[in-house]
Amino acid sequence: MDELKAQEAVFLQTLLSRHHDPLLLTRCACGKHNRKIGCSDCLDSELLCRQCWLDKHRTMPTHWALIWNATDKFFEKSDFCRVRKNAVIGLGHHGQRCRDAELGRTFTLVDSNGIHATALAFCRCPTADGQRGAPEFQQLLRTGIFPGSIKEPETGYMLGVLEYYRQLRSQGKGSAYNFVHVLRRMADPFFMGSVPVCLSITWTNTGGKSQCMWKRHASSACRSHLVASPDQ
């Protein structure tokens, strides 16, 4: 502890230096635009222009973008699809948008680093049975997103956050209420009202199987989703 106390000023100065980057507003490596966007989740992230940032994060859409606010002079936290107009998360093509895709659909995506207001573009490539793409819920599952509903899903949960909550309940008996509020604060610790949805989670045990109940509360609807999980 004494060693840490002796380096307190260095720790503080180094952590504060993370909010400044000498590459800010210099030309991006692509040579087309200036560097304005960093990432709060990448290790030692490099400032990039909008398009390069999107290209780098095609398969990491829940990383928070840090966009330079030229008016107020600070880096503003933002979702993937707010980095650039019409930016969407493409399914079925390793992060790229399907050439036959329709317009992006507003989608709420929940991960361990918060609740994201984003947009998805589903794959519409013809299938062997003549359909325009696989069922949407199946496309989400293949991507690693658990759908909030079978028909026209508007909410999804990264498999990692579901497993994290399952382990939390198994090991620490953590409160579902507190877990939801942590997710909301991870998205925005100061203005939680701006977070797109409010989730509540309850666990039940039916027939020897644990089940997780996620409830999505929106301004116009309240839906419940039942997810079966392995025995604990």
Q: In degrees to the nearest 10, what's the CA dihedral of 105, 76, 180, 90?
A: 30
CB atoms within 10 A of CB 209: 12
Write down the pLDDT at residue 151: 92
What share of the chain has pLDDT > 90, as a percent? 67
End-to-end CA distance of the chain: 39
* Complete edge-to-edge strand list for the sheet that includes strand 209-217: 198-206, 209-217, 222-228
Q: Token digits for 42?
A: 């990448």
Question: C-alpha distances in angstroms, 154 versus 11, 16, 50, 60, 114?
Answer: 42, 38, 26, 19, 16
CA distance 139 to 135: 6
Q: How is residue 33 annotated by DSSP?
A: S
pLDDT tens-place string over residues 50-99: 999 999 999 999 999 999 999 999 999 999 999 999 999 999 999 999 99
pLDDT at 204 over 70: no
Segments making up each domain of the chain, as ranges: 18-82, 89-156, 159-228
pLDDT at 107 over 90: yes
Q: In degrees to the nearest 10, what's the CA dihedral of 66, 98, 133, 159?
A: -20
CA distance 21 to 144: 33
If we measure between CA atoms, which residue out of 223, 227, 219, 177 comes closest to residue 196? 219
Global confidence as pTM: 0.80
